[in-house]
Amino acid sequence: MTLATFTRSFGHGPRKALAIHCTLAHSGAWRSVGEALADDLTMLAYDLPSHGKSADWDGQGNVHDVATDMARTLLTEPMDIIGHSFGATVGLRLAIESPELVRSLTLFEPVYFAAAMADDPEGATSAMDRNTAFNAAYDSGDMMEAARVFNTGWGDGSGWANTPDKLRQYMAERIHFVPASQPFLRDDSAGLLEPGRFARATMPVLLMEGATSGELAEAISTSLEKRLPNVTRRVIKGAGHMAPLTHPAAVADEVRTFLSGT
Residue-wise pLDDT tens digits, 39-97: 999 999 999 999 999 999 999 999 999 999 999 999 999 999 999 999 999 999 999 99
Q: What percentage of residues in the chain have a pLDDT greater than 90?
A: 90
Kind and range of the H or E run holding 41? strand 41-46
For the chain, what is the mean pLDDT? 95
pLDDT at 130: 61
What mean pLDDT comes out for the span 202-213? 97
pLDDT at 49: 98
| Domain range annotation of the chain | 7-121+181-260
Domain 7-121+181-260 superfamily per CATH: Alpha/Beta hydrolase fold, catalytic domain (3.40.50.1820)
- Which tens digit of pLDDT belongs to each residue from 46-61? 999 999 999 999 999 9
Q: Is the pLDDT of residue 122 over 90?
A: no
pLDDT level of residue 159 (50, 70, 90 thresholds) = confident
**How many CB atoms are located within 10 Å of the residue 97 CB?**
16
Cα distances (angstroms) measured from residue 4 to each of 7, 70, 74, 117: 10, 8, 12, 34
Distance in angstroms (rounded) separating the CA atoms of residues 16 and 217: 28
Q: Is the pLDDT of residue 255 over 70?
A: yes
Q: Are 164 and 155 in contact (CB under 8 A)?
A: no
Distance in angstroms (rounded) separating the CA atoms of residues 150 and 9: 28
- Which tens digit of pLDDT belongs to each residue from 98-112? 999 999 999 999 999
Q: Is the pLDDT of residue 134 over 80?
A: yes
pLDDT at 1: 61
Beta pairing partners, 231: 205
Q: Which residues of 218-235 are buried (b: 16+ CB within 10 A; e: fewer)?
A: bbbbbbbeebbeebbebb
| 0.85 exceeded by pTM | yes
Distance in angstroms (rounded) separating the CA atoms of residues 35 and 125: 38
